[in-house]
Amino acid sequence: MGHIQKIILLVVIVPLALFPGGVISYVLLFENLAFETTMWIPVGMTILGICSLVFHFKTRNFYRLLKQQAILPKVEPLFWVLNISYGVVYIVMSLYLIYLLNQLDTWKEYAVVLVFVIPLLIMGIWTLLEAYYLNRLIHVHNFANRHSEIDDIKGDAM
Per-residue CA distances from 91 to 84, 116, 141 (Å) = 11, 12, 29
More confident residue, 146 or 54: 54
What pLDDT, on the 0 to 100 scale, is given for residue 156?
55
Going by pLDDT thresholds of 50, 70 and 90, the confidence category of residue 72 is confident
In this predicted structure, the answer to whether residue 19 has a pLDDT above a threshold of 60 is yes
pLDDT in tens, 98-149: 888 877 777 777 777 788 889 889 999 999 999 998 888 888 877 776 656 5
In this predicted structure, the answer to whether residue 59 has a pLDDT above a threshold of 60 is yes
Q: Domain containing 61: what range?
A: 2-154
Cβ-based burial of 27 (10 A; exposed 0-12, middle 13-18, buried ≥19) = middle
Q: What is the distance, to the nearest Å, from the Cα of residue 39 to the centroid of all Cα atoms in its chain?
A: 21
Going by pLDDT thresholds of 50, 70 and 90, the confidence category of residue 87 is very high
What pLDDT, on the 0 to 100 scale, is given for residue 146?
65
Across 36-54, average pLDDT: 88
First to last CA, the chain: 39
Cβ-based burial of 108 (10 A; exposed 0-12, middle 13-18, buried ≥19) = exposed
What pLDDT, on the 0 to 100 scale, is given for residue 81?
94
Going by pLDDT thresholds of 50, 70 and 90, the confidence category of residue 78 is very high
In this predicted structure, the answer to whether residue 150 has a pLDDT above a threshold of 60 is no
Domain count for the chain? 1
